[in-house]
Structure 1
Amino acid sequence: MAASAFGCEHYVRSCLLKAPCCGKFYVCRLCHDAEEQHNLDRFQVQVVKCSVCKKVQKAQQTCEECGIKFGEYYCDVCHLFDKDKKQYHCEQCGICRIGPREKYFHCQKCNLCLASDLQGNHKCVENVSRQNCPVCMEDIHTSRIGAHVLPCGHLLHKTCFDDMCKTGAYRCPLCMHSAWNMDNCWEDLDKEISHTPMPPEYQDVTVKIMCNDCQTHCTVLFHVLGMKCSSCGSYNTAQDGGLIPRQQQQQQEQQQ
């Protein structure tokens, strides 16, 4: 018998989980955690109650009393019941992921399932998913929200990444590396700076900077709109000291 349209805002399922921690019945662990002062361990769930006939029984996919399926998808490790989303259980992650399986691979160093097009095409950060999202500070590894992989290898929730972009932020919150290819933005800034000369008293002033993208330290001309890394061309830089008049810079070079 097909599954009925029961469940909650998180999952479509036809049973309630008996929380091993408090003995109460909830549709899912998220509903439980929102109500209680403790968390439900999904792996310890052993008993469920049918939402149709109310039969209390061991955790399984089909009700032993009325024969209804508790979920189109069921994992007997995670005790996950839900509608079919092409889920699969990843042994290395230790939890179920939304698939289909053939579109994902498990990166051993990152210790996370990633989209197949990132295989051999991303920067690995060891156990990166075991850190909380640097934007919302919520868990990433077990989150129902997908993760976005930044060029630096750090992760944040896709929704948090979208919200960050809307604010105009373009740096990784953890390492300050550019969060995507900024070449077009840097070209636009080149043009804007070329049409916005500094006042005469600042035209020969230099400043030491550190590039957040390539980590190079260099000395460049100061401009209020931005200082360009002389190594990689990025404007994702930070001032590393005070302004240096051209004459002082020349004296320093001669002393060296």
Structure 2
Amino acid sequence: MPHLHAPLAIDPDNPYNLRPGDLEPVYSPLPPIRHDDVVIEDDGNDSSSETSSDLLPDLGCMHYKRNVKVQCFDCQQWYPCRHCHDQAHDLPFPHALNRKKTKNMLCMICQTPQPAAEICINCNEYAAWYFCSICKLWDNDPTHRIYHCPSCGICRVGEGLGKDYIHCPRCNVCLTINTFEGHKCIERATEGDCPLCLVVLFDSRTPVVAMPCGHYMHGDCFRDLMSVTYKCPVCGKSAVNMEIEWRPTSQTTNSVQPPPAARRPREVYINCNDCHSRTWTPFHWLGLKCQRCDSYN
């Protein structure tokens, strides 16, 4: 069983457990400068007048833009976000930040520790453009559209339920409206890991793709997979509509001369990966065609 750790004791002289450097603000990385569609990375040595150093950096980290740091409920240490916490090497014991248990935030504008909220109690500045009091999520990028799904229990990227997403209670995931009707339900399908990168899918910050078979994977992983194969890595079914690809395969098998009859069985018994039908089909060395769904998978 995993080791459970109680929250560290609170020092009455330092109730927010502030360490040296905690009051120092941290910033989100600046975007690269573009000149004539050429990306120029700022190495800090550019003496030209137009560099990323001329831009005002946003408070935050590489994961989020936000005006606050968060305090982990368990180890009482301060970090820009839960991802920065989980990637840190100086944790007093192995654990992940439970964002829903987060109690305190540190305003990086006025360096005031305080209870987690949308507005700083000292300088009255907003902690972020978006704030969820349930997930303790702050995001100060106005281009991001975020909503809280009460069924998922977490915040999702999108305009909101009924606007561009619908929650599927069986899959326990929010799906885009245009893919909801045609998706195949698999109970709690996103509560496992991505079959390619083995990172958990449910609370992923990157888009998740639903394949026709009902299995899910990260969008980036899906694109990488499609560059080498068309099959779902879990069940072997076609992960995309292959109808256009099967047509030239059928034309080729009909036009290419088959082996002499003496060297081939007239028919073979196959099990189709796509429709799971078992049928007899004419043997051809280029491919075996399912007699039910016309697939060559």
Return the TM-score normalized by structure 1. 0.86
Report the equivalent of 1:55.
Answer: 112
Q: Deviations over 1:101-146 (max 9, x none)?
A: 1111111111111101123321111111112111111111100011
**Corresponding residue to 1:96 among 149, 155, 165:** 155
Q: How high is the sequence identity, in percent, across the aligned residues?
A: 37
Report the equivalent of 2:3.
Answer: none
Structure 2: tracts of 5 or more residues without a match: 1-56
Q: Which has the higher helix share?
A: 1
Q: Secondary structure at the match of 1:144?
A: coil
Q: Secondary structure at the match of 1:65?
A: coil
- The question of whether the paired residues in 2 share the 8 Å contact of 1:48 and 1:58 is answered with yes
**Corresponding residue to 1:179 among 217, 239, 256:** 239
Letter in 1 for 2:256: T
Name which of structure 1's ranges 200-209 and 60-69 shifts more when overlaid on structure 2: 200-209
Structure 1: tracts of 5 or more residues without a match: 237-256
Name which of structure 1's ranges 74-83 and 47-56 shifts more when overlaid on structure 2: 47-56
Provide the rounded CA distance (Å) in 1 between the counterparts of 2:285 and 2:192.
36
Letter in 1 for 2:102: V
Letter in 2 for 1:173: P
Q: What's the offset of the Cα at 1:67?
A: 2.0
Q: Confirm or deny that 1:32 pairs with 2:85.
A: yes
**Number of aligned residue pairs:** 232
Report the equivalent of 2:146.
Answer: 87
Q: What's the offset of the Cα at 1:204?
A: 4.1
Report the equivalent of 1:7.
Answer: 60
Q: Secondary structure at the match of 1:228?
A: coil
Cα RMSD of the aligned pairs, angstroms, is 1.5
Q: What's the offset of the Cα at 1:197?
A: 2.4
- The question of whether the paired residues in 2 share the 8 Å contact of 1:202 and 1:222 is answered with no
Q: Deviations over 1:148-202 (max 9, x none)?
A: 11111111111111111112x1111111111111111111111222233233243
Report the equivalent of 2:69.
Answer: 16
Matches within 5 A, 1:42-81: 42-81=99-138
Return the TM-score normalized by structure 2. 0.74
Q: What's the offset of the Cα at 1:219?
A: 2.4
**Corresponding residue to 1:139 among 200, 204, 207:** 200
Provide the rounded CA distance (Å) in 1 between the counterparts of 2:263 and 2:87.
57
